[in-house]
Structure 1
């Protein structure tokens, strides 16, 4: 069996020799070129498992080779070698189709990790690409979904950071899992982190881990999210909710590919692919000073936008069948009655697929013998979410809350009465947003953390899905 062959393109003889020795020790065959002309001739004549090129060559830029290899149709991954501190060049190369990059001076351990990832990505002749045979998590035959799946298939071959944007409930985490499943990292961990749900004072410990005794309560050493996702994919959900202080530390970890645990003196390398997601407009957040421009630039190398459900209503039938099969459980059956699908198609679904699931689950609870009728959908009440809700009225003596409206009926327990009023208002906001806490906090004009604290204090529980 022949060994995988690597093409190394660099005009520095010493670096070519170092790369050649390192790759041969890994059991690989190596061809070398010192300029673009030689590299093009070798690439045209041979099949390579990986092309590794310097960014600056005597007769042109490695970026030209990146574009040519990406457009060749051979599916060969290509990585670039960039000068230390030239992170901008690496981002440009990733946008052009590069699989990954290593920085000069080349750290051989980092090089080996990158090469192994590329070799897992390049299938042997006659074999399918990783994840090609697995059914997609993204259901639907509409042009929007077919285009999305095709785009994900291309993105899965790269190590470039991806920023997923889309409305709440549109399936951002499903898309991230699909990218991971089709990538060379499919056998490694996929770690999804809700950045808005972590208390600010615990963020560094949660992301980077800590050593035993680093602070009060640190009884054992613990890995963070980066170490847990090592070799795999780390998804930063609702990344716009990260505080600015944590954004600085996250930027360094992404650029250097190293993290330092709290209480440790040395950094440790981590190999993770970053996928970020948010329903907010990150570019607007940068303009308002709420999100660092340099971190935005690092995360937004490739942007993937998910279509809202109202733009792919043709997928409603297959989506509904899949959701009902899951809700009904094994051995049970749930179906739509006459006119139900038409009623669903006439609704705009501001909460997207997540709202569809909630509507169907509620309807199934009211249905007779598993047959959902139009009246079971309660879409008229659900439609409240389409319009921006009016702000809560300012309390006045004439418009006091109902339980204490009468002058002679004052509450005997004022703190308890006010807590109940607050609980009712928060519940209304949560119900209107299908229990999307980020949107509910925005409706109420408070931060996500304030809402989470009030929910805990008032014992407001999200209904089980």
Structure 2
């Protein structure tokens, strides 16, 4: 006896037969209906793991069936069959709550991928409900509770989600959680910062390239779409994509296929697209700086991550959890916040959001010596500029190498940090207390940096 049951709703006998045959070969028991009334009867009589419905039915619209299932059995994934090129219909279906869509004529491999992804939700239903403590999105404020509920709901769909929010508010964390709670959790989560890829390498990075396709292409390269196969591709700072790449990305998303640079052949892709930016994407569309059709395609469902200043009751909870992590990472006693430090954090506006809170606490821990953080250790700015991650102090007399275009900025800054610390250690004959003083940091801060940079010589 088959483990799964699927309902196929279509008025064309040929399509019903094709879907029936394909699903039966996947060891799925199928039930068919030629119209919405018959589908309602079947749904009342049987418990299904999946429903596939056509959009145009004799007694109504597939969207009506999607809405009916959403209202009566929201855990049942519904896939919609749409006419080829009818992206508007597909997006309407996804907005109504459809799990995913398949274009006619039906690509059987695409259908099998969709069915396998949908059936993974069955196992999720059997798991005990996860407590809020399991979520990396920490907080008890109404805004965070709403966000956590949204994430759980969106994780069950394959609809593209556009995550808006200020810098440092946790957009990537939200994307990771949508991926983790969804049926693609065993697949890769591939984040890409669209603003960090040079324009001339963008097509190769996204779609891959074939050996010899351009100067410097010494071997075949797998693109980001292929790397995310079976999982999720997260397009961070999607607003930074140049116009020519927006066109190519739109095509890749719509066709569910990519063509590597220098290849004549298209490769089918099976990825879920999540995107984010701190910029106002709708405004960029109005100004003509972002394609409306791409915005329409990636913004099927929009969710907003609240800034930290709007969830004040979460600040101390987040701060305490961050301090626990720092104590663990740095192998030190757990520092605590004095009542005045707690009050100062709750009054501060956090223009840099959660990321800024992390940076403030990391700096405060290196400055406090008695495991109690006071307002003086927090050094909260008064000019409205967010605190960024500190880079090791280099005094004016330290020689700084020139930054060569094309080098990694992160590696360049790490080299400067290493150089400054080694110089101070050499000048103080490796007396760490004296070296820390010379660098204008606490002994604890120096100890942490030595460990982070792999310079710790302690046994």
CA distance in 1, matches of 2:359, 2:321: 14
Which residue is equivalent to 2:187?
188
Structure 1 residues 126 and 185: CA distance shift in structure 2, 3 A:
closer
Q: TM-score, length-normalised on structure 1?
A: 0.83
Taking a change above 3 Å as real, the CA distance of residues 274 and 132 of structure 1, as seen in their structure-2 partners, is farther
Q: C-alpha displacement at 1:365, in angstroms? A: 1.1
Do the aligned partners of residues 291 and 78 (structure 1) sit closer, same or farther apart at CA in structure 2, a change above 3 Å counting?
A: same
Q: In structure 2, the residue corresponding to 1:7 is in which secondary structure?
A: strand
Query: What are the superposed Cα offsets for residues 404-442 of structure 1, whole Å, 9 maximum, x if unpaired?
Result: xxxxxxxxxxxxxxxxxxxxxxxxxxxx57269xxxxxx
**What's the counterpart of residue 27 of structure 2?**
27
Distance in 2 separating the partners of 1:126 and 1:289? 47
Matched-pair contact (CA < 8 Å) for 2:80–2:101: yes
Q: Distance in 2 between the 1:127 and 1:2 partners?
A: 21
Which residue of 1 is the match for residue 244 of structure 2? 245
* Matched-pair contact (CA < 8 Å) for 1:385–1:433: no
Superposed displacement of residue 73, structure 1:
3.6
Supply the distance in 2 between the matched residues of 1:82 and 1:293 (Cα, whole angstroms): 22
CA contact (8 A) 2:80 2:90 kept: yes
Change (3 A) 1:193 1:124: closer
Partner of 1:404: none
CA distance in 1, matches of 2:327, 2:127: 38
Aligned pairs (5 A) from 1:81-96: 81-96=81-96
Q: For the residues of structure 2 that align with 1:455 and 1:119, how far apart are their CA atoms?
A: 43
Shift of 1:362: 1.0
Q: Which residue of 2 aligns with 1:79?
A: 79
Name the CA shift for 1:125/1:234 in 2 (closer, same or farther; >3 Å).
closer
Q: Tell which deviates more after alignment, 149-158 or 117-126.
A: 117-126
TM-align CA RMSD: 2.5
* Structure 2 unaligned spans of 5+: 391-404, 418-448, 453-459
Distance change in 2, residues 1:125/1:137 (3 Å): closer
Is the Cα–Cα contact under 8 Å of residues 187 and 231 in structure 2 kept in the other structure?
Answer: yes
Determine if the alignment matches structure 1 residue 70 to structure 2 residue 70.
Answer: yes
Contact 2:341 2:375 in 1 (8 A): yes
Is the Cα contact below 8 Å between 2:48 and 2:76 reproduced in 1? yes
| Cα separation, partners in 2 of 1:97 and 1:74, compared to 1, 3 Å | closer
- Structure 1 residues 55 and 206, CA gap change in structure 2 (3 angstroms): same
Q: 1:171 to 1:124 in 2, by over 3 A?
A: closer
1:323 Cα deviation after fit? 0.6
Deviation at 1:331, TM superposition (A): 5.1
Alignment of 1:258-407 (within 5 A): 258-329=257-328, 330=331, 332-379=333-380, 382-385=381-384
Return the alpha-carbon distance in structure 2 between the equivalents of residues 120 and 134 of structure 1.
24
* Alpha-carbon distance in structure 2 between the residues aligned to 1:63 and 1:120: 23
Look up the match of 1:37: 37
Note closer, same or farther for the CA distance 1:264–1:126 as it changes in structure 2 (3 Å cut): closer
> Superposed, which structure 2 residues align to 1:139-288 within 5 Å?
139-288=138-287
Q: Offset of 1:124 from its aligned partner?
A: 7.7
Shift of 1:376: 0.8
Select between 80-89 and 214-223 the one with higher mean Cα deviation. Answer: 214-223
Residue aligning to 1:48: 48
Q: Secondary structure at the match of 1:192?
A: strand
Change (3 A) 1:113 1:242: same
Q: What is the distance in 2 between the residues matched to 1:272 and 1:289?
A: 28
TM-score (norm 2): 0.84
Aligned to 1:97: 97
User: Is contact 1:308–1:352 with CA below 8 Å preserved after alignment?
Assistant: yes
Are the aligned partners of 2:359 and 2:387 in contact in 1 as well (CA < 8 Å)?
no
Q: Which runs of 5+ in 1 are unaligned?
A: 387-431, 437-451
1:216 partner SS: coil
Counting matched residue pairs gives: 404
Q: Distance in 2 between matches of 1:324 and 1:250?
A: 41
Distance in 2 separating the partners of 1:273 and 1:128: 25
Residue aligning to 2:109: 109
Aligned to 1:6, the other structure's residue is in SS state: strand
Deviation at 1:72, TM superposition (A): 1.4
